[in-house]
Amino acid sequence: MDIEELKLQIGLVQAKRKRLELLLSRYLGDTIIAANEDRIVKLQKELLWKLANELFDAFSLTDSKTHELFIGAKEMTNVGFYNMLTCYDKGIARLETILRQDVQSSQSNQVQSSQSNQVENEDVRQQSGDSSQHVKCQRRHTTNIEKKILEDILNYDSFPEDIAIEILRKLQDYSQD
């Protein structure tokens, strides 16, 4: 790993940390951090809209290859342009497939890679020829006694480790009975 790659990775980690700080500050209501981050978010939105407008202008030209965004790009082939122009329709089709498979469950799950090589994974049950019934899992419900033991947690602002161990032991003793 060379120095430039290391600097790039450090920058990526720092940017990710800033985004997490923003998320936490908004969740926790920290207005000082959130106010500073609002300016950053506003700037990022402006840059994103600027890029979107430039892309719109580029694709509106009769010969998109002449726009400054695409000068020197390796993907400047007919196949590359076809992929760029059809990616939206392919994305919509993929989202509709996911909707049918995962949300509506009206279609069996056919896993595709993110590169969309149209590779379908076979179900393990189909490979083994096992037609056994699906084992139904039963959800464990918390009893009233367990809830009473866990209520002790609510009495503390900061939760000491020794209290946590004590509550854990109580729960273990109860579950062994």
Q: How many domains does the chain have?
A: 3
Sign of the Cα torsion 154, 156, 157, 158 reads negative
Q: Are residues 40 and 89 in the same domain?
A: no
Q: Are residues 35 and 5 in the same domain?
A: yes
Of 129, 90, 131, 139, the C-alpha closest to 112 is 90
Q: Are residues 8 and 42 in the same domain?
A: yes
Residue with tokens 């030209």: 61
Q: Are residues 56 and 84 in the same domain?
A: no
Q: Are residues 14 and 41 in the same domain?
A: yes
**Does residue 126 lie in a domain region?**
no
**Does residue 102 lie in a domain region?**
yes
Q: Are residues 7 and 54 in the same domain?
A: yes
Q: Are residues 38 and 4 in the same domain?
A: yes
Residue with tokens 């019934």: 133
Per-residue pLDDT of the chain (177 residues), as tens digits, is 688 888 888 888 888 888 787 777 766 666 665 566 677 778 888 888 998 999 888 888 888 778 888 788 777 788 887 887 888 888 888 888 888 887 767 766 665 555 555 444 445 454 445 555 666 777 777 788 888 887 877 777 777 778 888 888 888 887 766
**Does residue 128 lie in a domain region?**
no
Q: Are residues 82 and 27 in the same domain?
A: no
- CA 124, distance to chain mean position in Å, is 26
Q: Are residues 4 and 33 in the same domain?
A: yes
The whole model's pTM is what?
A: 0.31
**Does residue 37 lie in a domain region?**
yes
CA distance 127 to 9: 42
**Does residue 118 lie in a domain region?**
no
Q: Are residues 84 and 58 in the same domain?
A: no
Q: Are residues 81 and 50 in the same domain?
A: no
Range of the domain at 21: 1-62
CA distance 70 to 104: 40
**Does residue 71 lie in a domain region?**
no
**Does residue 125 lie in a domain region?**
no
Of 29, 25, 7, the C-alpha closest to 17 is 25
CA distance 25 to 114: 32
Residue with tokens 């509506």: 104
Q: Are residues 56 and 92 in the same domain?
A: no
Hey, what are 106's tokens? Answer: 């009206």
Residue with tokens 């990710």: 16
DSSP summary character for residue 117: -
Sign of the Cα torsion 22, 26, 29, 35 reads positive
**Does residue 120 lie in a domain region?**
no
